[in-house]
Amino acid sequence: MKDRRIAVLGAGNMGRALLRGMLKANGAKPANVVATTRSRERADALARELGIDAHTDNLKAAAWADVLVLAVKPQILPQILAEIRPAVPAGRLVISIAAGVPTSVIEEALPGASVVRTMPNLPVLVDAGATAYCFGAGADPKDEATVRAIFEAVGTAHKVDEYLMDAVTGLSGTGPMYVFQFIEGLSDAGVKVGLSRDVANALVLQTVLGAAKMAMQTREHPAQLKDRVTSPGGTAITALHSMERSGLRATLIDAVEAATKRSEELGKKASGK
């Protein structure tokens, strides 16, 4: 990533987070990064904040860079692809984060490009994102290191086959919402049993963080970790019985399945099918 010239086209919430990640220690040099936005003011603000070149000219940015990150909303993407086409030669690495847009659509618009489709999630904003990526039919395997470097600077990166991208969208793309709901619900529960909202929130957040950290560090199966906190006749097994009766696991599976189906529907719309 260090020696490549990278352009992020459409540097909003997600694009800005990726830029910040790239510019961190040992990442890209500010002189090797450019960003575009729709409005001049946003571009100026980004340039001031990150010390990079930022403007509103997608064609100029695309012609200068050797790696393009497409970070505009999916509905804007066809317009951007048409705009930059004259500046994208065969072999150019083009990374898209636009939800639901298949690599085939980008490959058709930019013939010969090495297209990689990604699905990051919102915690890239705090360097704890979970990103899945897949290669288009004409993508160059040598580009994988660059793709990983960009997304690992803001979390983790996992390669999947493209047919699984809707499942990724339903699971980790949509995932922060499930966890926010869970946090809010547990916090409400704390208030119900007599804690102040502030204390309940603080306890829940640290518990979620601690449990995730423990699962990541020990690499134990969640069922084993659950067994570790479930003593005979204790509070955990009593709570678990109640949760099983309410069907928490089936609720989660239903939600992820519904989000995956919705992602498939939106993808069909985006590719005009």
Interface positions with ligand NAP (CB under 6 A): 9-15, 36-39, 42, 58, 71-74, 76, 97-99, 119-122, 173
List the 6-9 sheet strands across, edge first: 53-55, 33-36, 6-9, 67-70, 93-96, 114-119, 129-135, 155-159
Q: Are 84 and 34 in contact (CB under 8 A)?
A: no
**Shortest Å distance, C-beta 224 to ligand NAP:** 31
Residue type, 66: D
**Shortest Å distance, C-beta 97 to ligand NAP:** 4
**Shortest Å distance, C-beta 194 to ligand NAP:** 35
Residue 103 has, within 13 A of its CA and on its CB side, a CA count of 23
**Shortest Å distance, C-beta 15 to ligand NAP:** 6
**Shortest Å distance, C-beta 171 to ligand NAP:** 12
In this complex, which beta carbon is closest to ligand NAP, that of residue 27 or of residue 267?
A: 267
Q: Report the alpha-carbon distance of residue 267 to residue 273 in Å, rounded.
A: 9
In this complex, which beta carbon is closest to ligand NAP, that of residue 1 or of residue 154?
A: 154
Tokens of 155: 């979390």
**Shortest Å distance, C-beta 28 to ligand NAP:** 19
**Shortest Å distance, C-beta 252 to ligand NAP:** 19
Q: Are 21 and 154 in contact (CB under 8 A)?
A: yes
Q: Which residue is associated with the tokens 């260090």?
A: 2
Which of 267, 260, 248 has its CA nearest to residue 96? 267
In this complex, which beta carbon is closest to ligand NAP, that of residue 126 or of residue 243?
A: 126
In this complex, which beta carbon is closest to ligand NAP, that of residue 13 or of residue 271?
A: 13
Backbone CA torsion sign across 145, 146, 150, 153: positive
In this complex, which beta carbon is closest to ligand NAP, that of residue 100 or of residue 190?
A: 100
- According to DSSP, residue 79 is labeled H
The answer for residues whose C-beta is within 8 angstroms of residue 212's C-beta and 6 or more apart is none
Tokens of 108: 């058709």
In this complex, which beta carbon is closest to ligand NAP, that of residue 57 or of residue 227?
A: 57
Minimal CB distance residue for ligand NAP: 12
In this complex, which beta carbon is closest to ligand NAP, that of residue 32 or of residue 36?
A: 36
Tokens of 225: 């970790």
**φ, ψ dihedrals at 120, nearest 5°:** -80, 175
